[in-house]
Amino acid sequence: MKMHYYLREWGLDLSKSHAFVMKTIRQTIRFSYSSACTKSGHKLARTHGARLVVQQSEATWLGVHAFHTVLSRKPQAYTGILKTLRFELALPKYRRYKKRFRDVISEGLSTLTLLSF
């Protein structure tokens, strides 16, 4: 949702900035995964037995799905981006994750319905 407000504030023409927005989404997902990996390796996390059991491809699928879900709330504004995200979610390497993360997705969607933007 923050991304929606940033893009609106900047006044970007999304049809011309499609590649920039997609690159930003991918970088955000990669950064989030890298940050989780780093934090799980810290001394405090190890002391408390924290482990990161999510593979990078799983985190990527979850991130793409999250961006698709949130940006779908404004489909008229993100037509091209949503098309690209749908395509990525449909790739064969990601197909198995839809069923695997069904419970996580439904739990996340329950909180999303409380938010509006």
Q: What is the pLDDT of residues 41-66, one digit of tens each?
A: 888 888 888 888 889 999 999 999 99
DSSP 8-state class, residue 76: T
Supply the pTM of this predicted model.
Answer: 0.81
Q: What is the pLDDT of residue 102?
A: 81
- The set of long-range contacts for 55-61, using a CB threshold of 8 Å and a minimum separation of 24, is 57/93, 57/94, 57/97, 58/97, 58/101, 59/29, 59/32, 59/33, 60/29, 60/30, 60/33, 60/94, 61/89, 61/94, 61/97, 61/101
Residues of the chain under the 70 pLDDT cut: 1, 4, 110-117
